[in-house]
Amino acid sequence: MNIKSDILYFFDEHMDALPIYEELESKILQRNPDARIKVSKTQISFSMKHGFAFVSFTPCRKAAQRPPVWLTVTFGLGYRKQSPRIDIAVQPYPNRWTHHVMIGSVNEIDEELMSWICEAADFALHKGRS
């Protein structure tokens, strides 16, 4: 399969979230044109030297608090980013923080989110984040 059909297969049961993903992918690739996309069963990853942004349907809110259409964007940094938009932040290793943000519309793919993703790309490229 090619990458486009892999993405369509990934969204098979969540087609209503595909436009959100497509907007996110477009903005990530505009800012990181060398990024590679890998589709697996549970997530879509964006990487350069190492992974820096991930898209999944991992719920990071209780069902009643989720928007009707959503996906989870995950990114890693060397410190904990503080924002009410970040649903979960965990430290799996010293100086490695994984942040999960649930988004429910293309309007949430704003400059703030994109700046976090770009910072994560830089961190992955220069700090060996995997």
pLDDT digits (tens, 9 = 90+) for 2-53: 678 899 999 999 999 999 999 999 999 999 999 999 999 999 999 988 999 9
Percent share of the chain, pLDDT over 90? 86
Residue among 99, 108, 116, 101 nearest 20 (CA): 108
Sorted by where each begins, the domain ranges of the chain are 3-127
Q: Please give the pLDDT value at position 46.
A: 97
Query: What six digits make up the tokens of 51?
Result: 């992974």
Residue 126's H or E segment, with its range, is helix 111-127
Q: What is the pTM of this model?
A: 0.92
